[in-house]
Amino acid sequence: MSPSTPDALLIDDVQLLSPGRPLQRGAALRIEGGRIAWTGPRAQAAPAARRLDGRGVLCLPGFVNTHNHTPLMIVRGMVEDLGFAPAYTPGIPQGHWLSDEETFLLARLGQMELLMAGCTTVVDYYRSPDALARAALETGLRAFIGGRVMDADSAALAEGRFERDAALGERTLRDGVDLIARWDGADGGRIRAVHAPHAPDTCSRGLLQEIARLAAADGRPVHTHLAQSPLEVDHVRARDGISPVQLLDDLGLLNPALFAAHGIFVDEADIARAGQAGLHLCHAPIGNATFGAFAPVLALRQAGVKVTLCTDTKSADMFETMRMAIVAARARAQAFVLDAATVFGWATAGGADALGLPDLGRLEAGCRADVVLLDPEAPNLLPVVDGVGIVVHAGSAANVRHVFRDGEHLVADGRPTRLDAQAVRREAQAVADRLWARARGG
Ligand SMILES: [Zn+2]
């Protein structure tokens, strides 16, 4: 064991739950220089400059949440009973009504919520990507940011019509390129930029081709929605004569750098193609089930697709998401499939590996110190037997008490340390009030 440095922190008396490993009771974990320097039995822990008493609590890696649009929580609690994805649903606030500043204020609330729910790494993409990156700089999340690129006219889309708006395509493509120049690698690499075409139906073939060209040249990942709705599948089949999965394959986008959200409306040939390509699925079981759909996740995985988890525009609760992934898979299979350990792996190390960060999502010496401590007094977290079962089947974002990202203590005793939480909440609600008044003709 190396001698302790002045910034060293010993998190003492915890039950360590790291994916793929048995629960370690009576353990301690030392953080130094933003990394986990040591884990082991607490009796063997060397003293450090600072100590946090874990009080026997469950200690997990920070969650990796691979698909979000934080400003879209403005429609949360309403859109679920009206339609599916907000862009396709009339009668609710639309993204193109938001100013950059309003996008920032909403993103800041969404990112604060993610952090307080134990997510330390997120992928966040939407229009005004600069505003999302500014929010990430402030909230302290490790963030992969994208600018939502599309050339389907937003107003027509909300009414179910596809009309090409070439100027929108050019502008959003430029925003995405500017984002990379301005933000990729910011704050010591904590903020990174990705390509983010919205979906195969809201991007013309030409626009997708342009993104494929950019991604092939710079090697950055491509995040998108894929096979999200029958509307998308029908539109692409009518326009291009093939399925959305086939279209991305034709354009050279179907490869391990692709992060496809949803993947619900796929046929056998699509599943085989996606598996062969080794793409990443961003599985959003809560959002999917809310509009009555279950993605064939296990068939996709069997074919070779790598599965990650995300909360998309719903609450930032990855506990609920892990649980719902199991429920959705069992409801679809009508069989006892999938287990807690597997979905816990998807939500932590699996997501980290997918994003190219194999030193994340695990509580092991040498890994980045993204660490979450749960509430030692929460009755729903008992009994602890193997640890992973109770966390997945009974845990909640409300149980998160402490969150560290790269060793920085971003949530302490349930409160964000960098942010004025009251102001963040108040300013976001004011934006929501104004936009909902407009949506209702006020
Ligand atoms: Zn989405």
Per residue in 347-392, pLDDT (tens digit) is: 999 999 999 999 999 999 999 999 999 999 999 999 999 999 999 9
Residues with CB under 5 A from ligand 1 (ion): 312
Q: How far is the CA of 147 from the centre of ligand 1 (A)?
A: 12
CATH level 2 (architecture), domain 63-354: Alpha-Beta Barrel (3.20)
- The number of beta carbons lying within 10 Å of the beta carbon of residue 14 is 28
The pLDDT, as a whole number, for residue 47 is 92
The structure tokens listed for 135 are 């929010």
Per residue in 262-275, pLDDT (tens digit) is: 999 999 999 999 99
- What global pTM score does this model have? 0.96
- pLDDT score of 68 more than 90: yes
Q: Indicate the pLDDT class of residue 3, thresholds 50, 70 and 90.
A: low
Q: How far is the CA of 384 from the centre of ligand 1 (A)?
A: 34
Q: How far is the CA of 277 from the centre of ligand 1 (A)?
A: 21
CA-nearest of 213, 228, 226 to 176 is: 213
The pLDDT, as a whole number, for residue 12 is 98
- pLDDT score of 71 more than 80: yes
The pLDDT, as a whole number, for residue 232 is 95
The pLDDT, as a whole number, for residue 1 is 47
How far apart are the C-alpha atoms of 244 and 197, rounded to whole Å? Answer: 13
Q: How far is the CA of 85 from the centre of ligand 1 (A)?
A: 7
Q: How far is the CA of 286 from the centre of ligand 1 (A)?
A: 12
**407 CB contacts (<8 Å, ≥6 apart)?**
7, 9, 31, 32, 33, 34, 35, 369
Q: How far is the CA of 224 from the centre of ligand 1 (A)?
A: 8
Q: Indicate the pLDDT class of residue 154, thresholds 50, 70 and 90.
A: confident
Q: How far is the CA of 19 from the centre of ligand 1 (A)?
A: 26
Bridge partners, residue 281, by sequence? 260, 307
CA-nearest of 341, 261, 328 to 298 is: 328
The structure tokens listed for 325 are 């992934």
Q: How far is the CA of 396 from the centre of ligand 1 (A)?
A: 22
Spell out the CATH class of 9-61+367-416: mainly beta
How far apart are the C-alpha atoms of 25 and 336, rounded to whole Å? Answer: 29
The structure tokens listed for 123 are 């992928």
Query: Can you point out the beta strands (E) in 159-200?
Result: 191-197
- pLDDT score of 55 more than 50: yes
- Can you give the residue ranges of every domain in the chain? 9-61+367-416, 63-354
Q: How far is the CA of 208 from the centre of ligand 1 (A)?
A: 17
How far apart are the C-alpha atoms of 8 and 23, rounded to whole Å? Answer: 24
Q: Indicate the pLDDT class of residue 159, thresholds 50, 70 and 90.
A: confident
Average confidence score pLDDT of the chain? 95
Q: How far is the CA of 86 from the centre of ligand 1 (A)?
A: 9
Per residue in 230-267, pLDDT (tens digit) is: 999 999 999 999 999 999 999 999 999 999 999 999 99
Q: How far is the CA of 225 from the centre of ligand 1 (A)?
A: 6
The backbone region for 92, taken as left when phi is positive above 0, alpha when psi lies in -120 to 50, beta otherwise, is: beta
CA-atom Rg of the chain in angstroms: 21
- Exposed/middle/buried for residue 251 (C-beta within 10 Å: 0-12, 13-18, 19+): middle
| Of 57-66, 90-99, 130-139, 357-366, minimum mean pLDDT range | 90-99
Q: How far is the CA of 36 from the centre of ligand 1 (A)?
A: 32
The predicted model gives 33-42 an average pLDDT of 98
- Residue written as token pair 């050019």: 170
Q: Indicate the pLDDT class of residue 92, thresholds 50, 70 and 90.
A: confident
Q: How far is the CA of 70 from the centre of ligand 1 (A)?
A: 10
- Exposed/middle/buried for residue 214 (C-beta within 10 Å: 0-12, 13-18, 19+): middle
